[in-house]
């Protein structure tokens, strides 16, 4: 599991994708959920090392690479 001290370091998610940890948001709400159904959750934001689309993952499933 990663934490805020790992921001800026290379990490790997549960699917084997690697990237740079950009942030961990402890109160993230999925904007695609209807407003009455949103729930806060901890999310890690990971960016590909050489550019591309950032993705998010459950930080308990992310490890330092």
pLDDT, tens digit, 9 for 90 and up, residues 9-25: 999 999 999 999 999 99
Q: 3-state SS of the chain: helix, strand, coil percent to 5?
A: 15, 40, 45
| pTM over the 0.85 mark | yes
Rounded Cα–Cα distance for residues 24 and 44 (Å)? 4
* Low-confidence spans in the chain with pLDDT less than 50: none
Rounded Cα–Cα distance for residues 38 and 32 (Å)? 9
Burial track 15-43 (b if 16+ CB lie within 10 A, e otherwise): eeeebbbeebeeebeeeeeeeeeeeeeeb
Q: What structural domains does the chain harbor?
A: 4-64 (2.30.30)
């Amino acid at each position: 599991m990663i934490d805020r001290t790992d921001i800026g370091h290379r990490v790997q998610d549960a699917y084997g994708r690697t990237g740079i940890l950009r942030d961990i948001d402890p109160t993230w709400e999925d904007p695609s959920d209807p407003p009455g159904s949103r729930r806060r959750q901890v999310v890690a934001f990971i960016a590909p090392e050489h550019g591309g689309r950032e993705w998010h993952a459950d930080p308990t499933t992310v490890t330092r690479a």
